[in-house]
Chains A and B, each alone.
Chain A
């Protein structure tokens, strides 16, 4: 097979056609375009977690090797979920097709494909719901917007439910509050019943289940990675930080996504955590068991998400900590903020989090007992507990991308901005309709940050990149800050493609560069080993 070559940015953007096709959507068969869909899940990964109908297949196959009676499995799966999730039933019934969501999806904006309009994506599933669960659909069929479930419908589901990042921007605009992400979640659950998952999700799920984190980093490897960061921090600051692992009796358990201690630029954010906690003298511990904040299980089924999530409270209990502090991750916070307590709580063995430095009681975390690191750090800065030198970030002109889930899943808008503005002198907002609750997705979330679907990622990330380009052109922005490990993994490719010259950073990398630590030597470089402004050529 010839290697796929990504079209040039100008070619890609001019290929987007918003004129709807003449035919009805039901009459347009799904077309698997190159580099727009992820690879199939591997059988072994599905077997690791006991998912049903694990089998080898590829999306290109005509025959997906579906189990006998698969239609019944899906219909029963819908029935079960309609009775279990009131939201699912409600969202199937209440849509009036007003069209408010139609042009709000980054995948629609980047592809022009009407089936990426949230309303139509939902309709892919709703049409089957109507056919089997509503009187009108049973009697009138297509006249009532109903259609039979067949293998082509299933393929269409797979293609479009793995072309939604569950970012929930559309739901902000829906007058009924329909959460299309929940419909994608249901769609993926149904596909999962047939073993039709994707490799980029099933791989991390299996690794997290058996080794503690998505990347499959075992305890000795995790420790070794952190030790390398400790050496680097010492080289840069002259200070040797001393984190602990799996330490019983620590006050705080710290949980962060594994990308932070593996990928670039995530590791610089991780060094930021290490430096901040050391400077505070925080009584905290890492865990090599609950070594993943993220939860790719959430992209397969609620049940799998619950299983993976259970490790966090279990480890907090085993270690006897008082509360949990969480790092910079996106979907992790939707799971923690909206699901963890009912799935695996109540965490009545923990205390309502209180900052040991400022005495602030985090009432907002009363039920989950878990505090977001930007809330924690914003509180430190507010109480003047950190000595900061923002001029060390003066070579940066920074904008902030609200990661979808902390923004729309927990309303975390102001804390990261407050932190960034405290540690950087040059901060510029992207346009109002692309930030905060209306933030545009990176285009690679919910397990879609693979390589083989790169064109889809560049298309899905187009609206976000376009907003970055705006502040890049207008204000010379050269750094895109965020609070999410998928962002840190996905944005470098997106920026290189659409807005070359814009780097990507986590927020605590910026914090640590500005942080003046007690007894530190004169710093000449930032955490990446690049010369600080005014210190060029000091070596």
Chain B
């Protein structure tokens, strides 16, 4: 576990760099996390995915299946990896502030 400081905000991260508390997410936090995931700047397509993930999480309380992520955003997996080099879970979901799913995944 570790802490990051974004502006005035101190944010707790888990062992994989996911937010301990998804409610601590802000746009600045997303920008900060993006840099740790080899993304120089979050562009329009990044934000399309991030906003989608946050809306999905609000409704369902869990991250979407990758298959659903692709269908709903129109990005295929290759494209998701281009946008988020660490992939849909450890890249996109992390930057969107979603908790890490644990279990047989």
Instruction: Give residues in A with beta carbon < 8 Å to B.
Output: 1, 39, 58, 199-200, 203-204, 207, 213-218, 220-221, 224-225, 228, 232, 257-259, 261-264, 266-267, 294, 296, 329, 449-452, 485-486, 488-489
Contacts and interface: CB of A to CB of B under 8 A. Distances in A.
Contacts of A296: 103
A102 to B, nearest CB: 30
Interface of B: 1-2, 14-16, 60-62, 65-68, 71, 90, 101-105
Nearest to B102: A203
A201 to B, nearest CB: 8
A451 B90 contact: yes
Contacts of B61: 216, 218, 221
A221 B71 CA distance: 16
Contacts of B101: 215-216, 262
Contacts of A486: 104
B7 to A, nearest CB: 22
B103 A214 contact: yes
Contacts of A213: 103
19 contacts: A58-B1, A199-B102, A203-B102, A214-B103, A214-B104, A216-B61, A216-B101, A217-B62, A221-B62, A228-B65, A228-B68, A259-B105, A261-B65, A263-B65, A263-B104, A264-B65, A266-B105, A451-B16, A489-B105
A215 B16 contact: no
Nearest to B77: A264
A258 B104 CA distance: 7
Contact of B60 (A1, A218, A232, A488): A218
User: Which 10 A-B residue pairs are closest in the complex by CB-CB distance?
Assistant: A259-B104, A214-B103, A203-B102, A485-B104, A263-B105, A39-B15, A221-B60, A204-B103, A215-B103, A452-B15
A329 B65 CA distance: 19
A200 B1 CA distance: 14
A266 B101 CA distance: 15
Contacts of A232: 67
A207 B16 contact: no
A162 to B, nearest CB: 14
A188 to B, nearest CB: 17
B53 to A, nearest CB: 14
A266 to B, nearest CB: 7
B13 to A, nearest CB: 11
A204 B15 contact: no
Nearest to A296: B103
Contacts of A221: 60-62
A224 B1 contact: no
Contact of B16 (A217, A220, A266, A452): A452
Given A258-B104, A485-B104, A489-B104, 13 more contacts: A199-B14, A199-B15, A204-B103, A207-B103, A215-B101, A221-B60, A224-B68, A225-B65, A263-B105, A266-B104, A267-B67, A452-B15, A488-B104
